[in-house]
Chain A
Amino acid sequence: ENADPQKTAFLLRKAWTLYSVTPLYRFRRGRLRDYARLLSAFIAAEKQKGLAVEVGVELDIKVALSSLADLRGSERDQAALLVQLSSRSRAPSRNSEDKLLWSGWFCSVYGDDLSKDVPEDFTCLPLFLTHGPESYTSIVGSWFQKSFDCCFRRLAISPLNLSWMVAMWAGCKLDRATSAVELVFSVPRLSQPLDISYAIHPEDAKALWDTVQKTPGEITQEEVDVFMDCLYAHFHRHFKIHLSAAKLVKVSTAVASAHCDGIVKILHSQYLSGVLRLLTELAISQIQ
């Protein structure tokens, strides 16, 4: 289960935009090279149609599809699928390095809830993460939709789920607590938008969570509520503001950060699997 850190290093410290994906019909692992060729042709055709991605720059787009066998939860999960778009500049130069323009990957970490009910011809990879220009995301998405009859939807994260994440991640044991636990709230119904940022020392946050959590390895909604109520009460005592009436829009910890628009950054490889498991669960509940 522990993926090779070198192979998964590319995942860390990047802002990934999240989507949920319905199962892919008749996707064949053995045909990755063919798919790369087809996707490449599709992108070229879209460019011909005038959907130019970068105006004035002649880009030769190279497509690479690969499987990440280690990136999964259990044996029942499909291996992750990585799609990378790089540019090969036309200008001849000695170090003609391909520049990575866009990457996206499909994965499933403990996605049994979805895969157990699905017929044989379908491949379940409910979570899709992208990094790079939105224009490429929509081209790649269109190709997958046409080829495998699947459906992509942006995965938004509710304040309820964000509070679950911050409680879970603040409680993670890390060798060095490097960054503060931060919660960002947006205050509704004001003429000027107002954001409140609440930063807590990571050791204090972990200490609080440790007093709340009863069974290590298990988290209940009640425990998350108590944790959040303590934070709200502390803030109210000092600033007389009820954060519970505001909208939690972003949480940030040393393990990972997440924004309600469905953007996450994973900062620590140790908890990669745990974070992906949670995100897979969210993706599945959006699909069902």
Chain B
Amino acid sequence: HLATSLPLPSERDHLRPRIDLIVFIIDIKSKYSLKNVEASLAYVDASFFLGKVCFLVTGVGRVNACSIEANAVCKLGEAYCSPVLFCELELEGIRVATAQRLLRMLQICAGHIPGVSALSFVSLMRNSDDD
């Protein structure tokens, strides 16, 4: 399900299936997309931040078109204990690889992989901080 911002319209609440993973897409060429994501984060229930949220930064192939500092996004990821993935959607190989990664994360968040839960993402994040 794709949405341009949160909150999702309440009219369809009863029809909506359970949400297992929220991917916030930030276009590195658009400051507006970062602001939009920051505003939307306020509408996410705290329980999602236990591994069910991730940030996807697109457009990183074009260093010369950056409107956002990569550092700012990494800080956002740290603040919300959620992983930040960088990708370039215009390159098919990376697009496919990123889609596969997200799908894998979704499988884990939905409980389809025995022995691994969304909480694993959180503990992985904390370990890299302690390094």
* Interface residue ranges, A against B (CB under 8 Å): 156-160, 163, 188, 221, 228, 232, 242, 244-248, 260
Cβ–Cβ < 8 Å partners of B72 in chain A = 221
B32 touches A244 (CB 8 A): yes
Closest beta carbon of chain A to B57's beta carbon, Å: 14
Cβ–Cβ < 8 Å partners of B35 in chain A = 244
Give 9 new A-B contacts, CB below 8 A, not counting A157-B64, A228-B31, A244-B67.
Answer: A156-B64, A158-B64, A159-B65, A163-B67, A221-B72, A242-B32, A244-B31, A245-B31, A247-B29
A159 touches B69 (CB 8 A): no
Cβ–Cβ < 8 Å partners of A159 in chain B = 29, 65-67
Main secondary structure of the interface of B (DSSP, over half): helix
| Cα(A247)–Cα(B66), bound, Å | 9
Give the interface size bracket for B toward A. 10 to 19
Closest beta carbon of chain B to A137's beta carbon, Å: 20
Cβ–Cβ < 8 Å partners of A158 in chain B = 63-67
- Is residue B68 within 8 Å, beta carbon to beta carbon, of the partner chain? yes
Cβ–Cβ < 8 Å partners of B32 in chain A = 242, 244-245
| Cα(A134)–Cα(B118), bound, Å | 56
Total CB contacts across the A-B interface at under 8 A = 37
Cβ–Cβ < 8 Å partners of B67 in chain A = 158-160, 163, 244, 247-248
Type the 1/0 row for B56-74, where 1 means its CB is closer than 8 Å to any CB of A: 0000000111111100100
Interface residue from B31, B63, B69 paired with A221 (Cβ < 8 Å): B69
| Cα(A157)–Cα(B33), bound, Å | 21
| Cα(A248)–Cα(B30), bound, Å | 10
